[in-house]
């Protein structure tokens, strides 16, 4: 490619006049407005949160290793499940995707930086405070939130242990951070695309983040609204969700899930984008059905607003409501199926190689599909009466979130690590990470389907004896999966410190502007927009 050399020399020239602005030490990170620095901050933050949330999960699995109460009190157990869920959703998965957006979007669309660099700095740096409040509540008199990550009223109002205020403020800050991040992404994509890059020429990765940002802008304010109502109900005597004052606790669930269902797509659409970048690269073929992917992503996003009550089938909805939400939910499976079909078709007759990013992507396609199938089962109203609030639901959302979202994050991290660090990661260590994770994650989550079908309820610290064997295996899988993630930490640290020098484009099948700049990507890229033809 001819642009390659031109760009590199231009970037080098630019580097020199910018380098003196770059601060050193902690100040560099506190004051940075550089999209790559901020992307790095987001990614590290999310990994730390993954380990924190993971540590909580280890205690949960230790308690559930055998029936009976061994390690923790039931109330503390509830705090663990609640904070585990909140940390993983808002602290691990979402910031990881924002990190990818920051690092990759400007490079993929040929922009010099994000459109609103100073706001970008803010949206990251308020996040640690949110999680300090949330985690700090463990050490308060009240204890941490114990009402589930879904914080149903009246558990979080009338029956709150006193942690509601901490929880609400933490969520407000996370929400503000996400909204700022999303506005930045939309403005960047709308205004900073290189000349000639029309919407339908954008990489699919960019499309998925664009649509996700709109979803965030639409539903994070609703989350902010519902936690505000919770706050005033708990402390200021309003009765939004209090039947005594004319409110309605079921309404809480409607408002929460109006946010909550689009939220699950916020956590999976970027994953679709990452996998749609990686599978073509290692199949050495173009992505099959690019435009159908764009339309499928958009229709998933639109449909996600009219399916929320599939989380509420057992609240006593009238038959018409049950059917409406059942059919709408099943409708979403159509565009989702289109995507899975396109990934498989992309691999069909490709010249495949199986480097770690590809392994994680293939595992994603298969295991996410299992999660989609269990989702379809849950979408069937009559059977959901049996499955609701059992481990079957836990199995479902861990297949879509862990082997879905998290696996895509690992795939993306391995794929772009050479670009970020300038070194190739250690492939055999990475393969260890993959295989250990793959085996342990299935040992961890697959038996949960059977536990759920057999009737084991979720969110309990103790269980009936007949569930003992499966729970033991699940816990062993859990510990193994937890440990396996430390391999990833080792790979990343090794890769930052050294390793084989990475060329500008280490993957021969990869496409996109990010591969036209040197590895590691210079501090400033595309100060002059590239030409797209």
Q: Where on the chain is the footprint of another protein (CB under 8 A)?
A: 112, 115-116, 158-159, 179, 183, 186-187, 190-192, 217-226, 229, 237, 240, 242-246, 248, 250-251, 254-255, 258, 316-318, 321, 527-529
Tokens of residue 232, six digits: 């005033």
Cβ neighbors of 2 (< 8 A, separation 6 or more) are none
339 annotated active-site: yes
**Residue 172 annotated to the active site:** no
Minimum separation from the CB atom of position 308 to Cu ion (A): 7
Q: How near is the Cβ of 326 to another protein at its closest, in Å?
A: 17
d(CA 41, CA 11): 23
* Rg of the chain (C-alpha set): 23
CA dist list (Å): 433 to 370, 442, 485:
21, 14, 7
Residues 6+ apart with CB under 8 A from 384: 310, 313, 314, 378
378 binds, among Cu ion, ligand HEM, another protein, none (CB under 5 to 8 A by kind): ligand HEM
Q: Three-state DSSP class for 326?
A: helix
For the record, the structure tokens of 382 come out as 């009559």
Q: Please, what is the Cα angle at 184 between 178 and 187, to 5 degrees?
A: 140
Report whether 72 contacts 503 (CB < 8 A): no
CB of 315: closest distance to another protein in angstroms?
10
Closest by Cα among 335, 486, 481 to 402? 481
Which of the residues 265, 416, 463, 515 is marked catalytic? Answer: 265
Give the nearer residue to Cu ion in terms of CB position, either 206 or 220: 220
The answer to whether 527 is a known catalytic residue is: no
From the candidates 172, 311, 396, 449, give the one annotated as an active-site residue: 311
We find the least distance from the C-beta atom of residue 275 to ligand HEM, in angstroms, to be 13
Among 339, 186, 171, smallest CA distance to 263 is for: 171
Q: Which of residues 249-268 bind Cu ion (CB under 5 A)?
A: 261
Active site residue 432: no
Burial annotation 486-520 (CB, 10 A radius, 16+ → b, else e): ebbeebbebbeeebeebebbbbebbebbbbbbbbb
225 binds, among ligand HEM, another protein, Cu ion, none (CB under 5 to 8 A by kind): another protein
**How far apart are CB 28 and another protein at their closest, in Å?**
24
Token pair of 246, please?
């004319």
Q: Is 14 a catalytic residue?
A: no
Residue 84 C-beta: closest distance to ligand HEM, Å = 12
Please state, in angstroms and rounded to a whole number, the distance separating the CA atoms of residues 307 and 332: 9
Q: Which of 36, 84, 433, 505 is catalytic?
A: 84
For residues 404 and 422, which CB has a smaller minimum distance to ligand HEM in the complex?
A: 404
| Binding-site ranges for ligand HEM (CB under 6 A) | 150, 264, 267-268, 310-311, 329, 332-333, 336, 372, 375-376, 378-379, 384, 387-388, 393, 396-397, 400-401, 404-405
Of the candidates 11, 37, 63, 113, the residue annotated as catalytic is 113
| Partner interacting with residue 258 (select from ligand HEM, Cu ion, another protein, none; CB below 5-8 Å by kind) | another protein
CB nearer Cu ion, residue 285 or residue 310: 310
Q: What are phi and psi of 285, to 5 degrees?
A: -140, 160
Query: What residues are labeled active site?
Result: 84, 113, 149, 177-178, 261, 263, 265, 276, 310-311, 336, 339, 458
Residues that bind Cu ion (CB under 5 A): 261
């Amino acid at each position: 490619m001819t642009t390659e050399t031109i760009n590199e020399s231009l970037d080098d020239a630019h580097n020199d006049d910018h380098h003196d602005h770059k601060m050193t030490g902690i100040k560099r990170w506190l004051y940075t407005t550089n999209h790559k620095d901020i992307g790095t901050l987001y990614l590290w933050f999310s990994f730390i949160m993954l380990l924190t949330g993971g540590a909580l999960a280890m205690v949960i699995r230790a308690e559930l290793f055998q029936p009976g109460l061994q390690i923790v009190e039931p109330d503390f157990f509830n705090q663990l499940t609640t904070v585990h869920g909140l940390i993983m959703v808002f602290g691990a998965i979402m910031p990881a995707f924002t990190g990818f957006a920051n690092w990759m979007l400007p490079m993929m669309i040929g922009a010099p930086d994000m459109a609103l660099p100073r706001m970008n700095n803010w949206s990251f740096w308020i996040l640690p405070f949110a999680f300090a409040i949330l985690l700090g509540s463990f050490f308060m008199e009240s204890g941490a939130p114990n009402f589930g990550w879904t914080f149903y009223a009246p558990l979080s109002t009338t029956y709150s242990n006193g942690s509601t205020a901490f929880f609400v403020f933490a969520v407000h800050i996370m929400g503000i951070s996400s909204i700022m991040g999303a506005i930045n992404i939309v403005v960047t994509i709308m205004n900073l695309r290189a000349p000639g890059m029309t919407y339908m020429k954008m990489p699919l990765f960019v499309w998925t983040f664009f649509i996700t940002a709109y979803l965030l802008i639409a539903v994070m304010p609703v989350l902010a609204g519902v936690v505000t109502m919770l706050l005033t109900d708990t402390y200021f005597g309003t009765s939004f969700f209090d039947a005594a004052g004319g409110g309605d606790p079921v309404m809480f669930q409607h408002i929460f899930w109006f946010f909550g269902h689009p939220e699950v797509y916020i956590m999976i659409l970027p994953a679709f984008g990452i996998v749609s970048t990686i599978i073509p690269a290692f199949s050495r073929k173009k992505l099959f059905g690019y435009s159908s992917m764009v339309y499928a992503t958009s229709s998933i996003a639109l449909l996600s607003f009219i399916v929320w009550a599939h989380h509420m089938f057992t609240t006593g909805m009238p038959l018409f409501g049950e059917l409406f939400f059942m059919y709408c939910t099943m409708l979403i499976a159509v565009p989702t199926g289109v995507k899975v079909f396109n990934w498989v078709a992309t691999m069909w007759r490709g010249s495949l190689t199986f480097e770690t990013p590809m392994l994680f992507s293939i595992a994603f396609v298969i295991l996410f599909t299992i999660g989609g199938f269990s989702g379809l089962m849950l979408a069937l109203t009559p059977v959901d009466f049996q499955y609701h609030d059992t481990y079957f639901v836990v199995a479902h959302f861990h297949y879509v979130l862990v082997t879905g979202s998290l696996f895509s994050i690992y795939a993306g991290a391995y794929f772009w690590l050479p670009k970020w660090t300038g070194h190739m990661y250690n492939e055999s260590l990475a393969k260890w990470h993959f295989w250990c994770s793959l085996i342990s994650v299935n040992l961890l989550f697959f038996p949960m389907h059977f536990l759920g079908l057999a009737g084991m309820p979720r969110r309990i610290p103790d269980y009936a004896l007949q569930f003992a064997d499966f729970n033991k295996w699940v816990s062993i899988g859990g510990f193994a999966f937890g440990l396996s993630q430390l391999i990833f930490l080792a790979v990343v640290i090794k890769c930052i410190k050294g390793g084989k020098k990475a060329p500008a484009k280490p993957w021969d099948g990869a496409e996109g502007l990010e591969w036209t700049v040197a590895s590691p990507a210079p501090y400033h890229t595309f100060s002059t927009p590239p030409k797209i033809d």
